[in-house]
Amino acid sequence: MSDASPEIRFVAKNMRLDLRLIAEMIAPDARVLDIGCGDGALIEYLIRDKGADARGIEIDMAEATEAVAAGLPVIHGDADADLAFYPDGAFDYVVLSRTLQAVERPREVLRQMLRIGRYAIVSFPNFGHWHLRWRLLTTGRMPDNETWDRPWYETPNIHPCTIRDFFALCAQDGYVVERWLAVDDKGLGTPWKRSPWLANLFGEQGLFLLRRG
């Protein structure tokens, strides 16, 4: 073998922190689909370090191409259009990180995730965070921070929700919340896990592990 073997681009410690939290939820040797996988950092880690059969879908062509060029099984596609084509129970885990708020039909995407996967792992920016509430209350303007960094008329985040909204949707559609946590914007776990009310006020992001009821 020549020395042209692919270089290792990511190690776990360089991975986005919320992806590390997601990776910790995934059992070894699992079949995983990562929707909105970006350049494939999570699936590369899962394949190399957890023996997973991990695959990805990415809507951004440049990112999808990067992932494929790194030898990763990633398709250019999107959550709204492509999930319907996978068979029932094809995966152990289906991951949707920081993407739920940007899809066209979030409820249908969740339904598809739990049709093709045994577990769904979902993270999203919490629109109920006190800072957003404060800004809306005091200035009357849409929020403007790291997550909500584009004006309302061009943000891709067309379906924002709060952590409590998400609990309500899970209850309505009969999904079991196996685990959940609120994290700050660096993806570190925060100690609000006993109280959805507090988490909804102080958590920047919600991270949920769901299964069918």
Partner 1 sequence: MNEALAPFQRLEHQRVLFADGLALDCGAVVAPLAVAYRAYGTLNAAKSNAVLICHALTGDQYVAEPNPLTGKPGWWDTVVGPGRPIDTDRYFVICANVLGGCMGSSGPAEPKPDGSGLWGTDFPSVTIRDMVRAQKRLVEHLGIDRLMAVVGGSMGGMQVLEWAATYPEMVVAAAPIATATYHSAQNIAFHEVGRAAIHGDPDWKGGRYWEDGGIPAKGLSVARMVAHITYLSEAALGRKFGRRLRGASALTFLEDVFEVESYLRYQGSTFIRRFDANSYLTITRAMDFFDLAAEHGGDVAAAFRGTKTRFLVASFNSDWLFPTQESRALVRALNAAAANVSFVEIATDKGHDAFLLDEPVFHRALGGFLRGAAAKAGV
> Which residues lie near partner 1 (CB under 8 A)?
1-2, 4-6, 53, 55, 61, 64-65, 67-77, 82, 85-87, 90
- Minimum distance, C-beta of residue 75 to partner 1, in the bound complex (Å): 4
Q: 192: helix, coil or strand?
A: coil
- Minimum distance, C-beta of residue 85 to partner 1, in the bound complex (Å): 4
Based on DSSP, count helices (H) and strands (E) in the chain, helices before strands: 8, 7
Please, which residue, 5 or 138, has the CB nearer to partner 1?
5
CA-CA distances (angstroms) from residue 111 to 5, 91, 95, 142?
A: 40, 14, 13, 30
Please, which residue, 68 or 142, has the CB nearer to partner 1?
68
- Minimum distance, C-beta of residue 62 to partner 1, in the bound complex (Å): 9
Which residues are bridge partners to 209 per DSSP? Answer: 121, 179
CB atoms inside a 10 Å sphere around CB 30: 18
Which residues contact residue 21 at a Cβ distance below 8 angstroms, ignoring those fewer than 6 apart? 181, 183, 187, 189, 207
Please, which residue, 90 or 177, has the CB nearer to partner 1?
90
Please, which residue, 42 or 183, has the CB nearer to partner 1?
42
The span from the CA of 200 to the CA of 192, in Å, is 9
CA 154-147-176 angle, to 5 degrees, is: 110
- Minimum distance, C-beta of residue 213 to partner 1, in the bound complex (Å): 25
Please, which residue, 57 or 182, has the CB nearer to partner 1?
57
The span from the CA of 95 to the CA of 114, in Å, is 10
- Minimum distance, C-beta of residue 163 to partner 1, in the bound complex (Å): 32
